[in-house]
Amino acid sequence: MNRRNRHTARKVIQTVLTVGLLLALLQLATAADRASFDSTNAPQDVALTTDPVNAFWKGAGVVFAEEGKDGESVGSYRTEIRSRWTENNLYFLFICPYETLYLKPEPRTATETYQLWDWDVAEVFLGTDFKNIRKYKEFEISPQAEWIDLDIDLDKPHHEDGWAWNSGFVVMARVDQDTKIWYGAMRIPFSALGIRKPHDGETLRINLFRSQGPPSHRVQVAWRRTMRESFHVPERFGILRLVATPTR
């Protein structure tokens, strides 16, 4: 190899290494971004709405659940989640593209639905105990506005028994069949989370999920990948931060 060819080879190698380093840094930055979620303050509580262009939701913090349990892409099931908070409540809006819905027959919305997680649902896991992360709350909503809330303690033999707990949270859902998107909104009282006076900068532990489709081709969508079959992996939770104003 002559001098010119060696020089060219070195430049190619340097370019490849530089591009590789930039890609690695980009992946690290993306992972860091996914570790936290800003919920933005609203001056007062509002009637719950699933309309994403409503002024209330336009001012919300936003993240996307776009991974499977092992970090694989979920394609068109990429789910947008928005959040706001007031003096008394914490709000979430799920925007869920779908192909075919997997719904429980004869839905009931006046009372909670046990094992709702076997059907299409969106889920919020929230923890306020940073010392014992195995205790947290779980909130679910279906496209039919069915709901369930659970007080989870993973040290108990059957943590699903926590469904007897009642948070007083409120839900609303609707399906837009033309665009094939379903929307689910939640309003969760801070009192149910053990928070008396939420404040700017306060943090909670959180993960966000969605289950889509029948058992034969079930798709599990996560904000923070769990690296296990179960959603109940508190070590993989991120941080929800209450902020006074949007950062975007």
Per-residue confidence at 159, pLDDT binned at 50, 70, 90?
confident
Q: Which of 30-44, 118-132, 181-195, 226-240 is predicted least confidently? A: 30-44
CB 91 within 8 A of CB 47: no
Average pLDDT for the chain: 89
Rg of the chain in Å (alpha carbons): 21
Structure token digits, residue 108 = 């009931």
Gap between the Cα atoms of 18 and 235, Å rounded? 33
pLDDT over 70 (residue 104)? yes
Structure token digits, residue 132 = 């014992």
pLDDT over 80 (residue 31)? no
| Inter-CA distances, 146 with 1, 83, 215, Å | 71, 20, 19
pLDDT value of position 26: 35
Q: Strand pairing partners for 217?
A: none
For the chain, the farthest-separated pair of C-alpha atoms sits apart, in whole angstroms, at 81
Q: What is the mean pLDDT of residues 85-93?
A: 98
pTM for this model (two decimals): 0.85
pLDDT over 80 (residue 95)? yes
Topology of the domain covering 37-243: Immunoglobulin-like (2.60.40)
pLDDT over 60 (residue 9)? no
Of 32 and 88, the structure prediction assigns the larger pLDDT to 88
pLDDT value of position 160: 83
Gap between the Cα atoms of 87 and 50, Å rounded? 21
Burial of residue 224 (number of CB atoms within 10 Å: 0-12, 13-18, 19+): buried
CB 210 within 8 A of CB 77: yes
Q: What is the mean pLDDT of residues 79-92?
A: 98
> pLDDT tens-digit profile of 192-216?
999 999 999 999 999 999 999 999 9
18: part of which helix (H) or strand (E)?
Answer: helix 3-33
b (16+ CB within 10 A) / e for 71-90: eeebeebbbbbbbbbbeebb
Q: Which of 10-14, 77-81, 100-104, 216-220 is predicted least confidently? A: 10-14
Per-residue confidence at 157, pLDDT binned at 50, 70, 90?
confident
Q: What is the DSSP string of 76-87?
A: GG-EEEEEEE-S
